[in-house]
A and B are shown apart, each in its own frame.
Chain A
Amino acid sequence: MMTILEARRVTKQYRMGEVTVHALSGVDFTVAKGEFVAIMGPSGSGKSTLLHLLGGLDSVSDGEITLAGHRLTQLNDNQVTLVRRRNIGFIFQFFNLLPMLTAEENVALPLLIDGQNLNAHREHIDHLLQLVGLADRRHHKPDQLSGGEQQRVAIARALVTNPAIVLADEPTGNLDSKTGEEILRLLRRSCDELHQTIVMVTHDARAASFADRVVFLMDGRVVGQLRTTGDRSADIRAIQRYLRESEERAVLAPEPQHP
């Protein structure tokens, strides 16, 4: 399968006052086209940092990231911005919709930023609104929509440019379990029906069970991965077991050494 995203020996350090924090230490990570990957790990494991680096939101301290043929680590801010605009869709825990725009306008926003004629994309936008089940609420503004509806708008927005990859950061973190489940099904559908590549950061085993593969991160390193079977109950149990075991290994292992 074709690799759409590749991270090699990615390291990220930053200073907090006097202390240097090693957020990521030599992470290798690849995602194939059409794959749905979940990144899991406890708080502080570096999973959000990894997502930020993969999305070109932050720069690496060392290593390389290649996304859809673009070496993000060698591009300037403007070039990274263009890659992000055309190749990446983002979904966040807090939806991040513009309050003064309607659902439909929020979905169209990335096309507007790209200077495209919206009339040429009308069908596509309609299709996405139907996909996320908001065709009849397209003229509502965010404060007139429920949390689940707002997140569905965010998903449609993430998909509108047909990006090479969608990066989702705890997309169900701010939703109740039923709504969260709906959102995850939607992501799964976009992967199955639209062959959309998705990388999702989560700390929830049930959310991770929707992915094709789960990558485990701990203390800034990839400590293992697991391929799901499609049997969700079994997958959830397997993920939870893996998490427990890797945590136990981490407690027993010596402190990681940083150069």
Chain B
Amino acid sequence: MASTLSSFHALALRNLSSRPVRTSLTALGIMLGVAVVLAVSIINDGTLASIHHIFDEAAGRADLMITNSGVIGEPFTDEILSRIRRLPGVQLALPVVSGRTLLASEADKWGLEVSVGGTHTANDLLIFGIDPAHDRQVRDYELVAGRFLPAEIDSYSVLLVDEYAEDKKLSLGKDIAVLSATGQEKLRVVGLIAKSGPGLQNNGAVAIMPLKTAQSLLDMHGELTQIDVLANPDIAASPRKLEALKEDLASALGHGYQVLYPAARGQIVARMLASYQTGLSFFSAVALFVGAFLIYNTFTMTIVERTRAIGMLRLVGATQRQIVMLVLIEAAVLGILGSLAGTGFGILLAQGLSRSVATVTNTEIRALRIPLDGVVWSLLTGLGVTLISALLPAWRARSISPLEALRSYARPLGAPLGRTGWLWGCLLILLAYLALYRIPFRPEVQVPIGMVSVFVLLLGATLVVPITIGPAERTLRPAMRILYGGAGQLGAANMRRAWARTALTVGTLMVGIAMIIGIQTMTHSFELDINHWVQTAIGGDLYVRSPLPMREEFGTRLLSDPAVAEVSPITYQQVQRARQGNSDSFSNTILFVGIDPQTYGRIASFVFEDSSQDTAQALKELAQGGRLLISVTVADRYALQTGDTLALETRRGVVQFQVVGVVVDFSSQGYVVTGSRADLARYFGERTVDQFIVRLKPGYDPRVEAKRLEDHYGKSRHIAVETAADFRAKVTRLAAQAFALFDVLGLTGVVIAALGVVNTLLMNVFERQREIGGLRSLGMTRGQVARMILAESGAMGIIGGVFGMFFGLFLARVFLLGVQEIGGYTVRYHLLPQALGVGWAIALIVSQLAALYPAQKAAHVRIVEAIQHE
């Protein structure tokens, strides 16, 4: 007896082991759900940790950091250094200047890459200028070879990261040539450091040199980009005192500076990725949601199947509570098994997916950390979701009467919430609709409410499915007859018999398909809008850029080229919206695109939100100065419209710019304003050119001309010429790559839904063994039996597909809304007919593949045994 049942609750284990296929399928569903949630969480954590790590290491032991109040990285005068040093509480104030350049040997290989955070150069070298005499009091430089920088702050010495030096074949004691504002400069490599601490910056592509040398290279004489402050030990030890020092510093420095905790820098970068990460988390949660459907379905079916057994347990004295516990223990065991497997699989999945996330987010993910709290959390989530999903079936099991044991056949359980479930469903859909479209929530709660609404919407849709099964089956019956013969008609009709179960399975399929269609439509809308914007707004055939500031006169040189028809200069400048209330600097950073109103219109145009506006008129307005075009995102975020004013911090104090139009723009996450280059010079002192847009004369091949121009000017001016087509392809590729991950998550949902279909059909086959035996004894062939099951599944697939299409389109709208809210992009909705086709095809294929095993099982039912089956 010792090896047999030890307690009543152990019966739960026996129940699970007596249905190995169903148990495995359900556990697999839980496993996939938990795996994607954990994988996404690990990747997100890894990305964030990497970002924070880099900034923390680079900041070293500094307690506070001072930067330009506008944009971090923008220079400010070094005169404030002495003022800071005199402040009580400041032990040390270290100047830093940083900027980007290239190795002279790589100048011609320079290129622009695109990621979800914006554009960045592919092979640039970060110049990090420090005070060699004191910097090591704050930062640790792990010397691998050679020595540290000499104490003089103007020596032409440099430290490189050993890995980078090896990669670029640069050796200790030799000189390296880097581009400077005036040409090239040579620096002597005096030491190699490990890729740690300050060496982590820019993924190791960093040249650490004395301050003056860096200032000279970057043409930033007398300017700094950052001051690191080490507080007196007693202040550093007390967060309250440190906060007081921070405030003292801020008030001493006044307008134009900001004092940050070093960690804030990492946070700012991390926030750039937040929308993407939120999206990933959201879709992984949906996969788990589909898993919850599978669990609910499985348990409901299991309880129907065991109605008599449960009745018998009640009869011999099991209390209602014991029955509920029995079901919940079964769920808990399944949940633990599924979650444990999911944790293992999730870690593997994270490793698989991390590379593509790293590419998309342009963040090198360091060795993936498996966070213990993440693992515990995903185990608890898996277990929690399983238990919650099993709660309703358990509650229904509780109400099974002992008299059920005396019936010779099991009575089917109805749909959830009974016959009025569809009314509840409609109500939920309405609620979701109102929450998403009609009720204006505060921006900070909009995204969580949107996510909850999506779940409410899908749940509501699932509750509506049951009432459609009858009419849908009648409509599909002729088609099923044509496709599968007489057995097909019978199969379709079978769907109505266990309609509650069918409805749940259709609902599960629906959620999976809706995700796929929603994601596809969102991606498509995004791509269309981006392409339209790239083609219209950016225009031109070639983009001429340089890692070093270009002069406007170079445009005239370009124009004199026989292939060039038009040239227009563009300058990008990060600016700051005048501070309002307690908003932080990040949410006020805007990209100012300075254009030349005279030439811009000949090459490119604007995509206005209000189609009655035209580019020529807008350019005339911009030429008058003090006027701006704002992006839809800026308009939305700051509640601005044409005619309003936008206050920007400038060198001349706060200036009110008049808004003369709202345009679609995807650069810099949508936080973009367009004004004249003259205004940029007047208010921000920025006269250089970042990019020339070039239109070629007819008959010239952009690719050939790009190569020719680059060869012609590349050596002397370090320019890179890219064709508009290549840039467009890059943007499209990034979008595809970014959304491919969403597709993976959506597909996981479909796989889980497929497991649900297998489960349903297996249970149907098991329940109808006697009937199948009867049909076989009447002369139905094995093939016909199999076709009957395939037809039933096919019909479920078709209905699930139709529902999925409808709600998928709805979901796409929600996703786009979410993209706008959390990502800042405003994307117009574009229907993609192919997505509907793809979703539907997936539903059909999944339904047929999932039915193969159950159909095979049904076809091999032994007639004699089956007709004795009770």
Contact = CB atoms under 8 A, between A and B. Distances in A.
A78 B402 CA distance: 13
Nearest to A89: B316
A112 B317 contact: no
Interface string B303-326: 000001100111111111110000
Interface of A: 48, 52, 55, 57-58, 77-78, 81-82, 84-86, 90, 92, 94, 96, 98-102, 104-105, 108-110, 112-115, 118-119, 122, 125, 157, 169
A52 B402 CA distance: 9
A94 B312 CA distance: 11
A85 B315 CA distance: 8
Given A114-B317, A157-B316, A96 B1 contact: no
Interface string B1-43: 1101111101100110110000000000000000000000000
Given A78-B320, A101-B11, A157-B316, 9 more contacts: A52-B406, A81-B317, A85-B318, A100-B17, A110-B317, A113-B316, A113-B317, A114-B317, A122-B1
Nearest to B314: A81
B870 interface: yes
Given A52-B403, A57-B401, A119-B1, A113 B318 contact: yes
A140 to B, nearest CB: 13
B317 A86 contact: yes
Interface centre among B7, B309, B316 (most CB of A within 10 A): B316
B18 A58 contact: no
A81 B322 CA distance: 11
Given A57-B402, A100-B14, A101-B14, A118 B1 contact: yes
Contacts of B408: 94
B491 to A, nearest CB: 28
Given A57-B403, A94-B408, A77 B320 contact: yes
A100 B319 contact: no
Contacts of B320: 77-78, 81
15 contacts: A77-B320, A81-B317, A85-B318, A90-B316, A96-B312, A96-B405, A100-B17, A101-B14, A104-B1, A105-B5, A108-B1, A113-B322, A115-B7, A118-B6, A119-B2
Interface centre among A55, A100, A104, A119 (most CB of B within 10 A): A100
Nearest to A52: B403
A112 B18 contact: no
B15 A104 contact: no
A92 B403 CA distance: 11
B316 A82 contact: no
Interface residues of B, number: 33
Contacts of B308: 96
Nearest to A90: B315
Interface centre among A78, A98, A114 (most CB of B within 10 A): A98
Contacts of A98: 11, 309, 312
A123 to B, nearest CB: 11
Given A104-B1, A112-B11, A169-B406, A99 B317 contact: no
Contact of B316 (A77, A85, A115, A125): A85
Contacts of B314: 81
A81 B318 contact: yes
B4 A105 contact: yes
B405 A112 contact: no
Contacts of A100: 14-15, 17-18
Interface string B692-713: 0000000000000000000000
Considering the complex of A and B, which 8 residue pairs feature the smallest CB-CB distances, nearest first?
Answer: A85-B317, A100-B18, A112-B8, A96-B312, A57-B402, A110-B316, A100-B14, A113-B318
Nearest to A122: B1
A64 B815 CA distance: 64
A84 B315 contact: yes
Contacts of B4: 102, 104-105, 108, 118
B403 A84 contact: no
A110 B319 CA distance: 12
A85 B265 CA distance: 68
A52 B406 CA distance: 10
A112 B403 contact: no
Contacts of B405: 92, 96
A109 B14 CA distance: 13
B1 to A, nearest CB: 5
Nearest to A87: B317
A13 to B, nearest CB: 16
Nearest to B312: A96
A131 B655 CA distance: 102
Nearest to B10: A112
A218 B320 CA distance: 34
A95 to B, nearest CB: 10
A82 B317 CA distance: 6
Nearest to B13: A100
Contacts of A157: 316
B319 A78 contact: yes
Interface string B390-426: 0000000000011101101000000000000000000
Contacts of A57: 315, 401-403, 406
B5 A82 contact: no
B18 A99 contact: yes
Contacts of A169: 406
A81 B314 CA distance: 7
Contacts of A102: 4
A122 B2 CA distance: 10
A84 B401 CA distance: 13
B397 to A, nearest CB: 14
Contact of A58 (B14, B321, B403): B403
B333 to A, nearest CB: 15
A77 B2 CA distance: 33
A78 B324 CA distance: 13
A244 B563 CA distance: 118
A115 B317 CA distance: 11
B8 A115 contact: yes
B17 to A, nearest CB: 8
A112 B2 CA distance: 13
B319 A82 contact: yes
A129 B411 CA distance: 33
Nearest to B407: A94
Nearest to B313: A113
A109 B315 CA distance: 11
